[in-house]
């Protein structure tokens, strides 16, 4: 079976882990690298890259459908809500760290950052959450893969940068000093820290890949998507969503929020839903989030980003 991947080091590490797991199950694979818009255009904000939705995914989807690549490995948070019918997410691997982390040369916490510190991130969600917590911070665009972002920090272009801890974990960079940001103030992107394995529907790859599925991670990530579905935000809208099984295994704690792009307004939910009825309860919680002002904030954010895009294109 052919396994498609982006060419970034993180994508290759993720793909080769899946290839190893499939080989252990008796399914050898060959790797094929596909370049995506998100990798090609790193000189501009993400919201300026094609539609921004699926900027790291579209070409891989197309290659699977057109060229018969049977498997593709993605950071699940990069997968858009709407997916081609020819493709199925056949497995979600066991979740890595869901946290955003702050990286500074001195290992500072967010409270220790100097006034007006310059923080690098390309995520509108992180930007909004940072400004909500520390309105004095100067948020600057930070594009490029994880290696590039670390280099820019070390060159002194920023006082600090925000990344997903999962990326550092998967690269094996345990020695890099980072400070986890609390979920209550920095709710992660939906599905942050998980790897999804997509397969071409109707091929033997679906069954082979499904052997890698980690059920609780799959339920948590689907819950996160259901809770934000009604907001109809894109992957550049400031939306966080995080679901985690309680230790007793009978409840799932769900935290989700929508923010205005400047961080001055936000709507949150934080509730425990039952495992036995998780789909219906996640959908009800999503309706509550949307109807309590979340949908309006998401629409505001989409307009704000659209205006930004138009101003940049003038
Ligand atoms: N396109 C950004 C992206 N997609 C997946 C990860 C990290 C790994 C993950 O969340 O699974 C990242 C980098 C980041 O958010 O710092």
Tens digits of residue pLDDT in 57-112: 888 999 899 988 999 999 999 999 889 999 999 999 999 999 999 999 999 999 99
Atom of ligand 1 nearest to the CA of 164: 16
pLDDT of residue 174: 92
Q: Ligand 1 mean position to 299 CA, how many Å? A: 24
Residues lining ligand 1, judged by CB closer than 6 Å? 56, 75, 77-78, 163-164, 166-167, 192-194
Interatomic CA distance for residues 126 and 108, integer angstroms: 17
Domains of the chain: 1-92+194-213 (3.40.190.10), 100-180 (3.40.190.10), 215-314 (3.30.160.40)
Q: Which residues contact 110 (CB under 8 A, 6 or more apart)?
A: 102, 130, 133, 134, 179, 181
Contact (CB, 8 A) for 238 and 260? yes
DSSP annotation of 276 reads G
Say what the pLDDT of residue 111 is: 98
- On average, the pLDDT of the chain sits at 93
CA distance 21 to 75: 17
Q: Which atom of ligand 1 is closest in space to residue 162's alpha carbon?
A: 16
Predicted pLDDT at 200: 95
Other beta carbons less than 10 A from residue 185's beta carbon: 14
111 is catalytic: no
Residue 314: is its pLDDT beyond 80?
no
Q: Give 158 Cα–ligand 1 centroid separation in angstroms.
A: 19
Q: Which of 228, 234, 291 is nearest to 254 (CA)?
A: 228
Which residue among 39, 61, 78, 230 is the active-site one?
78
Ligand 1, atom 2: closest residue by C-alpha:
78
* Digit-coded pLDDT (tens) for 109-122: 999 999 999 999 99
pLDDT tens readout for residues 21-36? 999 999 999 999 987 7
**Could you read off the pLDDT of 203-259 as tens digits, one per residue?**
999 999 999 999 999 999 999 999 999 999 877 899 999 999 999 999 999 999 999
Q: Which atom of ligand 1 is nearest to the CA of 46?
A: 1
Q: Report whether pLDDT(46) > 70.
A: no
Q: How far apart are CA 192 and CA 35, in angstroms?
A: 22
pLDDT of residue 31: 96
């Amino acid at each position: 079976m052919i396994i498609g991947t982006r060419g970034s080091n993180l994508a290759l590490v993720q793909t080769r882990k899946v290839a190893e797991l499939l080989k252990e199950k008796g399914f050898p694979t060959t790797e094929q690298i596909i370049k995506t818009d998100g990798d090609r255009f790193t000189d501009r904000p993400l919201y300026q890259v094609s539609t921004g939705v699926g900027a790291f995914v579209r070409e891989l989807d197309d290659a699977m459908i057109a060229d018969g690549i049977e498997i593709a490995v993605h950071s699940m948070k990069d997968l858009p809500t709407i997916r081609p019918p020819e493709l199925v997410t056949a497995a979600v691997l066991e979740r890595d760290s869901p946290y955003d982390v702050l990286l500074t040369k001195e290992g500072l916490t967010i409270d220790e950052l100097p006034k007006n510190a310059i923080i690098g991130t390309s995520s509108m969600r992180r930007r909004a959450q940072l400004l909500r917590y520390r309105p004095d911070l100067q948020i600057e665009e930070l594009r490029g893969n994880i290696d590039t972002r670390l280099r820019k920090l070390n060159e002194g272009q920023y006082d600090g940068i925000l990344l997903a801890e999962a990326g550092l974990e998967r690269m094996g960079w345990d020695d890099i000093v980072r400070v986890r940001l609390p979920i209550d103030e920095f709710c992660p992107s939906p599905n942050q820290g998980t790897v999804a394995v997509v397969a071409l529907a109707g091929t033997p790859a679906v069954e082979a890949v499904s052997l890698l599925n980690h059920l609780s991670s799959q339920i948590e990530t689907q819950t996160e998507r259901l809770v934000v579905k009604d907001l109809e935000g894109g992957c550049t809208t400031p939306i966080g969503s995080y679901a985690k099984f309680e230790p007793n295994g009978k409840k799932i704690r769900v935290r989700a929020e929508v923010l205005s792009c400047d961080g001055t307004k936000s709507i949150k939910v934080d509730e425990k839903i039952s495992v036995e009825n998780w789909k219906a309860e996640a959908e009800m919680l999503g309706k509550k989030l949307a109807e309590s002002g979340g949908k309006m904030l998401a629409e505001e954010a989409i307009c704000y980003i659209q205006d930004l895009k138009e101003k940049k294109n003038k």
